[in-house]
């Protein structure tokens, strides 16, 4: 008998809870759905990046990440793929998946 392997969680989007097969697809999703400028349609990499872009290029203040769940729409949290997700949210996601 061998040891039971800990099940690896799939990459998931912190903004909308959608799961992906790999982190590369997750990043493409984030750029297209959550970090896309509503004015010029440029795809940025992070919420703060989108906020800075809108302020500098369009002179417009953005305070929420588009298409995100309530409470997960903060533009100031730097999340790229699975990096930057608050540890307590990762634990909660794992708990709900088991």
Closest CA to 74 of 36, 34, 47: 47
pLDDT at 96 over 80: yes
Nearest-10 Cα torsion for 50, 55, 58, 61: 90
Asked, for residue 8, whether it belongs to a domain, the answer is no
The tokens for 8 are 């690896």
Asked, for residue 5, whether it belongs to a domain, the answer is no
Q: How many domains does the chain have?
A: 1
Residue range(s) defining the domain that contains residue 71: 25-97
Convert the pLDDT of each residue in 65-74 to its tens digit. Answer: 999 999 999 9
Asked, for residue 10, whether it belongs to a domain, the answer is no
Asked, for residue 13, whether it belongs to a domain, the answer is no
pLDDT of res. 7: 64
Interatomic CA distance for residues 32 and 20, integer angstroms: 14
Convert the pLDDT of each residue in 81-94 to its tens digit. Answer: 999 999 999 999 99
Interatomic CA distance for residues 34 and 15, integer angstroms: 8
Asked, for residue 38, whether it belongs to a domain, the answer is yes
Asked, for residue 16, whether it belongs to a domain, the answer is no
Convert the pLDDT of each residue in 19-40 to its tens digit. Answer: 999 999 999 999 999 999 999 9
């Amino acid at each position: 008998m061998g040891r039971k392997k800990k099940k690896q969680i799939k990459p998931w989007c912190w903004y909308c809870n959608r799961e992906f097969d790999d982190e590369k697809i997750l990043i493409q999703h984030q750029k297209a759905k959550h970090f896309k400028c509503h004015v010029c349609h440029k795809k940025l990499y992070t919420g703060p990046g989108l906020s800075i872009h809108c302020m500098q290029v369009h002179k417009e203040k953005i305070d929420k990440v588009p298409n995100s769940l309530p409470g997960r729409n903060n533009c100031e949290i730097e999340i790229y793929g699975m990096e930057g997700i608050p540890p307590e949210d990762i634990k909660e996601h794992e708990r709900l998946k088991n």
